[in-house]
Amino acid sequence: MKDYDYDLFVIGAGSGGVRAARMAAGFGAKVAVAEDRYMGGTCVNVGCVPKKLYVYAAEFGKAFKDARNFGWGSELPAFNWATLRDNKKTEISRLNAIYDNLLAGVKATVIKGRARIVDAHTVAVGEQCFSAGKILIATGGWPHIPKFPGSDLAISSNEVFDLEQFPKRLVIVGGGYISVEFAGIFNGLGAKVTQLYRGPLFLRGFDSDIREHAAQEIRKSGVDLRFDVNVESIAKGASGLQVSLTDGSTIEVDAVLYATGRKANLDGLGLENVHVKLSDAGNIEVDGNFCTTEPNIFALGDVTGGIELTPVALAEGMAFARRQFGGVESTVDYEFIPTAVFCQPNIGTVGYTEDKARAKFGKLRVFKSAFKPLKHTISGRDERTFMKLIVDRASDRVVGAHMMGPDAGEIMQGIAIAMRAGATKALFDTTIGIHPTAAEEFVTMREVWREDTE
Ligand code: FAD
């Protein structure tokens, strides 16, 4: 066998790349990882982690108000953007160092710089070339801002965390979970937020009852949520950015955040030098074992355009390393992947939406619970929780669980385990609840809300 510098050369030290590198090295492979921006990738630096820290910050705003009716003083503390931003930076730097140490701990070589594939066994970083038995592309995604007059004045999620000044007036464009989360963050921190989505209802892909409930709750929380409208142009004015909309109106703001989608990060990667096929959407095509159309070159995580979540990239990294270096058959099961949207309140979801469940299983029984959380009976906050279970009528198996309410993300993890184990509605019903919680509603929904009959 030919002698290569490395058994595995990983391009991208994000969620998927680092996990694959660590596992492969653990199996005894000689591994290098190239990274040109930040250790830990999107999740650690400009994704899940800073986002969740900012969500915590945002939730204090309403909590201080809620506290008044529970007997706490009425003075609302002032928010300081620089404190949040700089404390976040400190925490991210700590995590970056941990990622460096994790790779050093398994004796993987970290090469700082942008990697370019030269041929099926060679990667260049700057002037240096490295040969490898296998190359793994784990370069993730990159925010995409469409071109229109003034589009260069818009920012993406990459920049929004580190803004010099807090944007007191903010337009957020997009209808996916990232735009919804940022709307909640900046609204909670005290900005005047307008969220624009070009379609009739945001959060495409989520259950339609959840989407409607979310629109209602997010509006109640103070976000000016507008559908069927888009940005035509952005121009600099004397007192802010003038954002002209397709409905003829104009909004003046301090910043415009575009969260309308992400594209595979392939710039300068050298794919023209190998036979790696891309999908129509521009993602790297892979089979169930992360093989591209070029033997010895593999890809996983966001760059493949699958389910763009950190735990999915991690699972893919592990399956790849086990199979290629551990001699273990290993694949990823993509059914019943739970996920959350950290808006206020949270959305948590696992399994099929009602529409998709009907298409796959046929006749369904659907259960719901909608209520004011106990806490808000005293806080006075006008917020309602919505929960929904979707049951395959033939097998009684619970095939979808959806919730919008406090801690929905935390609650849904346990429900996901039950659903993956094939739990039936009868099993949910015989499970004793934890009282008083919102989660107990998942085991006490008795009345059918909708049922498909003959
Ligand atoms: P990435 O983590 O993006 O890593 C790719 C790495 O490759 C980057 O560090 C990049 O610099 C590097 N790179 C790219 N090209 C090269 C090159 N040529 N040479 C060297 N290095 C290169 N997921 C969740 O599960 N939960 C969440 O709450 C969540 N929130 C999110 C919030 C935001 C704002 C965003 C943008 C994403 C969020 N995600 C969340 C998604 C999650 O961050 C991604 O799914 C995950 O990071 C994908 O991992 P990856 O390994 O595929 O790529």
pLDDT tens-digit readout, 152-208: 999 999 999 999 999 999 999 999 999 999 999 999 999 999 999 999 999 999 999
**Given pLDDT bands bounded at 50, 70 and 90, which one contains residue 418?**
very high
pLDDT digits (tens, 9 = 90+) for 271-324: 999 999 999 999 999 999 999 999 999 999 999 999 999 999 999 999 999 999
Provide the percentage of residues in the chain whose pLDDT is more than 90: 98
Q: Mark which of 260, 281, 315 sits at the end of a domain.
A: 260
Q: Tell me the residue range of the domain where 297 lies.
A: 6-143+263-325
Q: Are residues 384 and 252 in the same domain?
A: no
pLDDT band at 2 (very low <50, low <70, confident <90, very high): confident
| Nearest protein Cα to ligand 1, atom 30 | 48
Identify the residues whose C-beta falls under 6 Å from ligand 1: 11-17, 34-38, 41-43, 47-48, 51, 114-115, 138-141, 157, 178, 265, 269, 301-303, 308-311, 313
Checking if the pLDDT of 411 tops 80, the result is: yes
- Looking at residue 22, which CATH number applies to its domain? 3.50.50.60
Residues 401 and 413 in one domain: yes
Structural domain includes residue 216? yes
Would you say residue 383 lies in a domain? yes
Regarding whether 218 and 202 lie in a shared domain, the answer is yes
Distance 16 CA to ligand 1 centre (A): 8
Whether residue 334 lies inside any domain: the answer is no
Q: Quick check: 149 pLDDT over 80?
A: yes
Q: Which tens digit of pLDDT belongs to each residue from 60-73?
A: 999 999 999 999 98
Looking at the structure, do residues 243 and 373 belong to the same domain, yes or no?
Answer: no
pLDDT tens-digit readout, 11-21: 999 999 999 99
- Residues 323-359 pLDDT 10s: 999 999 999 999 999 999 999 999 999 999 999 999 9
Number of domains in the chain: 3
- What pLDDT was estimated at residue 395? 98
Please compute the mean of the pLDDT values over residues 33-40 and round it to a whole number.
97
Same structural domain, 86 and 214: no
Considering the domain boundaries, does residue 388 fall inside one? yes
Per the CB < 8 A criterion, the answer to whether 421 and 440 are in contact is no
**pLDDT band, residue 1 (cuts 50/70/90):** low
- What is the reported pLDDT for 297? 98
pLDDT digit string (tens) for 103-127? Answer: 999 999 999 999 999 999 999 999 9
- Do 320 and 359 lie in one domain? The reply is no
Span 228-243, average pLDDT: 97
Same domain for 247 and 268, yes or no, is: no
Question: 444 and 344 share a domain?
Answer: yes
From atom 12 of ligand 1, which residue's Cα is the shortest distance away?
12
Tell how far the Cα of 33 is from the centroid of ligand 1, in angstroms: 15
331 located within any domain: no
**Among 207, 226, 260, where does a domain finish?**
260
Percentage of the chain beyond pLDDT 70 is: 100
Confidence label for 253 from pLDDT (cuts 50, 70 and 90)? very high
pTM: 0.97
| Whether 139 and 196 share a structural domain | no
Residue nearest to atom 6 of ligand 1 (CA): 12
The answer on 115 and 19 residing in a single domain is yes
pLDDT for the residue 74: 84
Q: Give 75 or 289, the one with higher predicted confidence.
A: 289
- Tell me if 294 is assigned to some domain: yes
Same domain, 271 and 249: no
Query: Which residue among 35, 48, 339 is best mutated to probe the pocket of ligand 1, counting the most ligand atoms within 8 A of its Cβ?
Result: 48
Q: Closest residue (by CA) to atom 7 of ligand 1?
A: 12
Q: State in Å: Cα 14 to ligand 1 middle.
A: 6
Q: If you measure from the C-alpha of residue 183 to the centroid of ligand 1, how many angstroms do you get, rounded to a whole number?
A: 21
The per-residue pLDDT of the chain, averaged, comes to 97
- Over 80: is that where the pLDDT of 100 sits? yes
Q: Are residues 390 and 437 in the same domain?
A: yes
Contact 338, 416 (CB under 8 A): yes
